[in-house]
């Protein structure tokens, strides 16, 4: 879950006006309907010939144009589908989606699945993502269950490990990061352009929430970074789920930071502390202060340890 998910959750729960009041801003911008506000901000940046990064539809989306149609990595929120397809048409001269990757099951990534599936697109994801999308998903952070998506909106081609396809002159390799942000995360690497779409494992501009309720966990998040660091080289442009493009050096810094936090959380678990005590101990202090309040991440990361460790006796 991203910052956007939390905002979406708050908006659905409180309503936009209440959210504006709660945030203390009270500006007309914040009080505007979320779809109007966000749809107006859909923009794209060129990553190379026929390759674009599209932002503002709910998550970072990478789109590759080809004569037969577009290939997209992630599809944004469902309410932004029309605006997104308009932007794809504007930048890549096609509004037909032929291939759509889901880096994981979250609503920000899978909102275009139904439209794309009806167009006859091939939907590619990890097998676990398909399994989640085939049933109602209940989590503590979504106001109501998500899914099951209609049959046509579910991934039609799945992987358990790594796989590759050729499309639009690109060699595209994708692979699994075991139990990281969820239990179905994949990265997608455009090898010729050397663009690595990292999905939910990497957040570029704030603390993500570790979705331990659908199989994510802190140790797996660190292992996910190890996997990405094997794929990335010094020239790779890394596209996180949200926020600006990152470098391999940024991935190394994130990995180090998350591993430090992981070690601190394991130490607190071994002391027998509960989630409230762990938050009070401020284990993320000094690690990524520019990302704001880490409490939600710390709590989910700590809870994620429970399925993997028993405290030392």
Binding site for Zn ion (CB under 5 A): 106, 200
Smallest distance from Zn ion to CB 5, Å: 7
With residue 254 as reference, give the H or E element that holds it: helix 248-270
Smallest distance from Zn ion to CB 216, Å: 9
Output 3 or 63, the one with its CB closest to Zn ion. 3
- Do the beta carbons of residue 200 and residue 208 sit within 8 Å? yes
Q: Which residues contact 82 (CB under 8 A, 6 or more apart)?
A: none
Output 181 or 264, the one with its CB closest to Zn ion. 181
> In the numeric block, which tokens belong to residue 77?
């929120």
- Do the beta carbons of residue 172 and residue 165 sit within 8 Å? yes
Smallest distance from Zn ion to CB 85, Å: 22
Output 8 or 99, the one with its CB closest to Zn ion. 8
Q: Is 189 in a helix, a strand, or coil?
A: strand
Q: How far apart are CA 310 and CA 268, in angstroms?
A: 12
Output 66 or 288, the one with its CB closest to Zn ion. 288
Q: How far apart are CA 25 and CA 74, in angstroms?
A: 31
Q: How far apart are CA 77 and CA 12, in angstroms?
A: 14
Smallest distance from Zn ion to CB 179, Å: 14
- Do the beta carbons of residue 176 and residue 162 sit within 8 Å? yes
Smallest distance from Zn ion to CB 233, Å: 26
Residue nearest to Zn ion (CB): 200
Smallest distance from Zn ion to CB 281, Å: 26
Q: Is 125 in a helix, a strand, or coil?
A: strand
Q: How far apart are CA 242 and CA 270, in angstroms?
A: 33
Output 239 or 273, the one with its CB closest to Zn ion. 239
- Do the beta carbons of residue 181 and residue 213 sit within 8 Å? no
Smallest distance from Zn ion to CB 110, Å: 10
User: The tokens 């923009």 sit on which residue?
Assistant: 43
Output 142 or 287, the one with its CB closest to Zn ion. 142
Output 90 or 138, the one with its CB closest to Zn ion. 138
Q: Which residues contact 238 (CB under 8 A, 6 or more apart)?
A: 196, 198, 202, 228, 232, 245, 246, 247, 248, 250, 251
């Amino acid at each position: 879950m991203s910052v956007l998910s939390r905002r979406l959750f708050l908006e659905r729960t409180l309503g936009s006006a209440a959210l504006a009041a709660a945030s203390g801003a009270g500006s007309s911008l914040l009080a505007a309907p979320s779809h109007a506000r966000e749809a107006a901000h859909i923009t794209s940046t060129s990553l190379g010939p026929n390759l674009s990064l599209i932002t503002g539809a709910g998550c970072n989306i990478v789109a590759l144009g080809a004569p037969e149609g577009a290939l997209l990595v992630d599809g944004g929120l469902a309410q932004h589908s029309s605006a997104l397809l308009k932007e794809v048409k504007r930048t890549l001269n096609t509004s037909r989606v032929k291939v759509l990757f889901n880096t994981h099951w979250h609503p920000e990534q899978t909102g275009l699945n139904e439209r794309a599936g009806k167009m006859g697109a091939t939907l590619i994801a990890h097998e676990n993502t398909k399994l989640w999308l085939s049933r109602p998903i209940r989590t503590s952070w979504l106001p109501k269950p998500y899914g099951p998506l209609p049959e046509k909106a579910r991934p039609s081609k799945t992987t358990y490990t790594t796989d590759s396809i050729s499309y639009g002159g690109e060699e595209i390799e994708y692979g699994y990061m075991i139990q990281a942000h969820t239990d179905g995360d994949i990265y997608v690497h455009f090898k010729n352009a050397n663009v690595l779409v990292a999905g939910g494992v990497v957040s570029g501009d704030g603390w993500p929430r570790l979705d331990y309720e659908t199989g994510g966990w802190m140790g797996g998040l660190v292992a996910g970074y190890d996997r990405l660091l094997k794929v990335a080289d010094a020239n790779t442009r890394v596209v996180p789920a949200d926020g600006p493009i990152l470098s391999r050096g940024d991935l190394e810094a994130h990995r180090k930071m998350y591993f430090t936090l992981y070690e601190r959380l394991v130490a607190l678990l071994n002391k027998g502390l509960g989630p409230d005590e762990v938050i009070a101990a401020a284990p993320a202090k000094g690690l990524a202060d520019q990302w704001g309040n880490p409490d939600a991440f710390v709590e989910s990361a700590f809870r994620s340890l429970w399925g993997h460790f028993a405290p030392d006796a």
